[in-house]
Structures are given as structure tokens and as C-alpha cells.
Structure 1
Amino acid sequence: MRPPSTRRQFLASTGLTALAVTAGCVSSGSSDPATGGGTETETATATDTATPESTPESLEAWLDDANGYDGEARRFGPESRPTVMVGEETDGGLAFDPPVIEVPPMTLVRWDWTGHGGQQNVVALDGTFDSGRTNAQSGTGYRYFFEETGEHRYVSEPHRDGGMKGAVIVKEPPSSGNSAVDEWLAAASNFDGTIADRTDTDTATVTVGAEGNGGRFAFDPPALRISTGATVRWDWTGDGGPHNIVSRGDGPLDTELVVDEGSAYEHTFEETGTYLYSCKPHESLGMRGAIVVE
């Protein structure tokens, strides 16, 4: 167990919020018979009914009219089980939610039908995966296992012209060389493998509620390197709802949920080590941080 801090200060108020994600293997089918649906069926591989087509334009240009897309991919770390909702209703029309996901190789992705908007399917433009015939039933599910890196654009064929587009980006997670940090922050969209070096100062600042992870759900910078005896100060922006700071495991960080702009929390790190933490309500979204003390 790490010793308590020599200096600790907290100013704030309270609140709450939460989110979670699930998934599934290559399959297509529908809901539990008990709810009035059919049964899900498994297939050994994705069907090859889709006709591959040329996609010369950039991914961002292609996604320009994708409903629900805000310009940021939702990132998932190793051993995650991402789920994409099919037929989510948005101001622009029906959408995949999230429209764009970034996953590491060897990840199983699941698509679940909401039942909104009539007949839909999931078809990759490069022919990699295809859920088969369209379905309008809530609870329908399709799963595909992504083994190798690549970029896969896909559509719901009946609603393609209306902007129902998505993409799966399969790439290796960012690497800083610190395996504990890399594994913990693999799901944080604003982590690019950089650990910000603050070893030359006695005080370092982290913004709470910075842009990232599909909203104001990030710590900035997500990873810091400091020297022993240095103090880290977390400053709340007031954006993204209530946030807190809680150590992973038995670490020293533990605050209340805070929403007010200008709230702050400080901790002085006296012992070397890698300290991992998160905002508990938004941890599954990727709101995570790390402090490396040298």
C-alpha cells in the first residue's frame, strides 16, 4: 500500500452520471424468443455477398455526411467488447452509434439493432463483413472478429443515401514504452503515446473535463511524468457533467463528484511509481489518467 500524501487539498461540489459498453463473434440473428423475437445464429465467417468498391476519398471526407459523427472516433482498448447500435435516431436521421470506432487487432465488434427506422443491415464497402438480409427487429445482432489492422467503411444499404454510414478503424494502440500506462490509457481518445514531462517543476496541472472521448470527458494531459515531491493539481472546467478522481486499486487519489468550474484538487507524490486513475462515472468512455513519478 502506498503511504498517504503529505499535502492534500480539495474544493468542490457533487453530482453523478455513468455509462457502459458490451459486445460479442461473427454472427447474425435476432432477439430472445421470450421477448417476441427469433434466435441468434452463428456463422463461421462473414458472408461475401457485398461487392467491394473503390473508396479513393479520405475517410474524413467520406464521413462528412455521416449522421451522428462529430469528427472523433470512439477508441476501445485491448480485450474490450465494443457494441455499435444500429438505427439510432439523430437530428440528421438514422445512424450507427458510435459511427466510428477505433479498436486494436483481435477485437470482436457487435452491432445491435434498435428497431427504429425500418429495415437495416451492416455491409462493409470492401466486402470484409456483411450481416446479410435487412432486418427491422429490435434485438437483432451481428458480430465480426477483426484480426488485422485496416480501415473498414460500412453502410446500412436501405439508408446509405440518408447518411447511415460508419467505420471500424483497426490499429495498434499508442505506445509510450510504459506498459502499465499504455494498457490503461488505450481507451482514452486523447492519449497518443506521449507522457508529458514535468520533471523540471514542483507543480503540474491537469485539466478535468477537457475535450475528448466524445465530449468533455478527458484529462489533459492524460499522462504526466513528475519527480518525487512534486504536486499535481487538477482543475475542473465545469464541462461534461460531474467528474471525480479515483485511483485504480489502492492508490491515494479519491475525490467527490464535482461539477463546478474552478474547483481544484491537489496531491503531492512522495514515492516513485506509476499511479493510474479515472473519473469513475466516465471511465468506460476513456476518461482515464496516469502519473509516473521518478
Structure 2
Amino acid sequence: MPSNNRRTFIGASVAAGFGSLAGFNRLQAHDSSTPAADESDGESSLDTWLAAANDPQTKQVLDLRYDDPPTVYLGVSNTKSFSPPAIKVAPDTTVTWEWVGESAEYNVVATDGTFDSGQAVARIGETFEYTFDAEGTHRYVSEPHADAGMKGVVVVDTAPSSGYPTVDKWLAGTNEYDGTITDQTSTSLVEITTGANGNGGPFAFDPHAVKVSPGTTVRWSWTGTGGAHNIVFEDTDLGGETLHTESGVHFEETFSETGVFRYSCRPHRDIGHRGAIVVE
């Protein structure tokens, strides 16, 4: 249903220039299990590990802490890959690996010895399960194809909890979200920075979760970095596709209705440039 909130677009459209993720370093990984909060340990960092992993989709860690227990597929389209290769789950989650390719033999073996599916087999429908009961980072391989890039990782990390599950799921894994929602209920005008530092570059909102009272005006101010950004809401017709690259205020909204309003910068939504407004 369209919102009754008043919206104002400020400024003119400017040609887009999309930001990009930083490149990865050369792989020189070693067997280890490091805490999820510390994934940057030189050449054995998680990014470096994933840089050498085969997968037809993405090198990012897919946050599945609010979803059903996940399944990782081996040999999609008969490739030597895990799909998805990198996932984040909450403690006490059971992960299932399922064989879908039969052109080669596969197995699932943690580099630190935490789990091992046994001898490599080529059998569609074969499954292996392991329950992760504590936080940590678990790299793994398919032994016959490890040197060819059949690598994966499971990051186990407690999910943030703000008391607003919709916000937590929306922001999980973005800009180090820890469940904090900035309380601005006593303020009539709130400003949010667009293109703030986060998510591997200038791809964040600051603050990325705000609580306001009905009647509050929220104003978004562009930093002018990170390429072109816009404000697009998920569950209502607020915002728009207009992209801006120059610094300054380009969009504001007065929220007259209570509720949770999720939004993003559409070009960088998938890398975590997302935010939320709680009105109550």
C-alpha cells in the first residue's frame, strides 16, 4: 500500500559511476580455525582463501543466520566447486553438503580436522551433515580438487539481536551490524550519511539503523564518494531510482506512520549498503 509519508527529492540526476570491491591477494593459506571476529590475518585471511575458490556465483560470505539450515552443493554443473563457497551461520546450526555432480569424486574435509565426510565419492544425492556448536571460522576443501580451487568456508557467529527481527535480518552481515539501533526519538530532524565508510569501501549508511518518532524528518546526505548512490525502500514506494554522485542532500522523508522501513542503495545493495528506519 502506498505510504502517506511526505517525500522530497532534492537535486538533479547525475550519471552513475558504480563502486567496486577491492581485489584479493595471492593465496597462501594454512590450516587454522580463527574467531569469526578476526578474519584478517595476512595472506591466510578469509578474503585470500576465497580468492582461490571456484564458484560460479560470488566470493562474498553469504549470511544465512536467519534462514533455514543451509545446504552447500558439490559439483554444480559438474564444476569443481562448492556452492555457495562461503556461508555464515549461528552456533548450533547444522550444515548439509549435497553431491549434485557425478563427473568427479568429491568429499568435504575441514583444514583443521573439525569435520570429514570420508572417502571421496561420485554419487548424486550423497549428503554429509555437521553441526557447528561454537563460534569460529572453518575452512574446508574437497581433497581431490583442493589445488584446483575446490575450497569453502563456514563462519559461525552469533546473530545480532535488537528486538526488531526484521531489522536484524535485513542488516545482518552489513557494516559490522551488531544489533545497535541509534535512538533519535527525541529529535525532529535526523541526518544519515550516504556513502559512508563500510562494507569494504564508501558503501554504508551512517547510522545504518535509526529509531525515530512519528513526524520526524530524515535527511540523507551524500559524501560524493563510492560512485553513484540512491535511496530505494523495500516495502513501500518511498525513495526512487535516481542516482547521485555529487555530495550534498538529495533526499528526505517525513515519517508520519509507525513501522519498520527497510531501504538500500540499489547499486550496492548486495554488498551491504542497506539501512533501516524504525518509527514508533
User: TM-score band, normalised by the shorter chain?
Assistant: 0.5 to 0.7
Deviations 1:39-68 (A, max 9, x none): xxxxxxxxxxxxxx9958767488322267
Q: Does 1:148 align with 2:163?
A: no
1:211 is aligned to: 197
The structural deviation recorded for 1:258 is: 2.0
1:195 is aligned to: 181
Q: What is the TM-score when the length of structure 1 is the normalising length?
A: 0.61
1:233 is aligned to: 219
Q: Does 1:127 align with 2:114?
A: yes
Q: Does 1:272 align with 2:258?
A: yes
Contact 1:107 1:147 in 2 (8 A): yes
Kindly tell me: are residues 56 and 234 of structure 1, through their superposed partners in 2, closer, same or farther at Cα, counting changes over 3 Å? Answer: closer
What is the rounded CA distance, in whole Å, between the counterparts of 1:97 and 1:240 in structure 2? Answer: 29
Kindly tell me: are residues 290 and 226 of structure 1, through their superposed partners in 2, closer, same or farther at Cα, counting changes over 3 Å? Answer: same
Partner SS for 2:227: coil
Unaligned runs of 5+ in 2: 21-29, 49-59, 74-81, 100-105, 121-125
**Number of residues of Structure 1 aligned to a counterpart in Structure 2:** 242
Contact 2:223 2:247 in 1 (8 A): yes
Q: Does 1:64 align with 2:64?
A: no
Aligned AA for 2:67?
E
Q: What is the TM-score when the length of structure 2 is the normalising length?
A: 0.64
Deviations 1:225-255 (A, max 9, x none): 0111111111122333222111112242224
The structural deviation recorded for 1:287 is: 2.1
The structural deviation recorded for 1:256 is: 0.8
What is the rounded CA distance, in whole Å, between the counterparts of 1:247 and 1:159 in structure 2? Answer: 43
Kindly tell me: are residues 217 and 246 of structure 1, through their superposed partners in 2, closer, same or farther at Cα, counting changes over 3 Å? Answer: same
What is the rounded CA distance, in whole Å, between the counterparts of 2:85 and 2:42 in structure 1? Answer: 12
Determine which of 232, 236, 245 is the counterpart of 1:246: 232
2:123 is aligned to: none
Moved more, 4-13 or 99-108: 99-108
Contact 1:74 1:213 in 2 (8 A): no
What is the rounded CA distance, in whole Å, between the counterparts of 1:61 and 1:212 in structure 2? Answer: 16
Aligned AA for 1:268?
T
Determine which of 139, 161, 166 is the counterpart of 1:180: 166
Unaligned runs of 5+ in 1: 20-52, 85-95, 112-119, 134-141
What is the rounded CA distance, in whole Å, between the counterparts of 1:3 and 1:61 in structure 2? Answer: 41
Deviations 1:173-193 (A, max 9, x none): 211001221222224243210
Kindly tell me: are residues 68 and 107 of structure 1, through their superposed partners in 2, closer, same or farther at Cα, counting changes over 3 Å? Answer: closer
Deviations 1:73-94 (A, max 9, x none): 845143387989xxxxxxxxxx
What is the rounded CA distance, in whole Å, between the counterparts of 2:158 and 2:277 in structure 1? Answer: 23
Kindly tell me: are residues 62 and 177 of structure 1, through their superposed partners in 2, closer, same or farther at Cα, counting changes over 3 Å? Answer: closer
1:221 is aligned to: 207
Contact 2:194 2:204 in 1 (8 A): yes
What is the rounded CA distance, in whole Å, between the counterparts of 1:103 and 1:56 in structure 2? Answer: 15
What RMSD, in angstroms, separates the aligned Cα atoms of the two structures? 4.6
1:15 is aligned to: 16
Kindly tell me: are residues 55 and 6 of structure 1, through their superposed partners in 2, closer, same or farther at Cα, counting changes over 3 Å? Answer: closer
Aligned AA for 2:14?
S
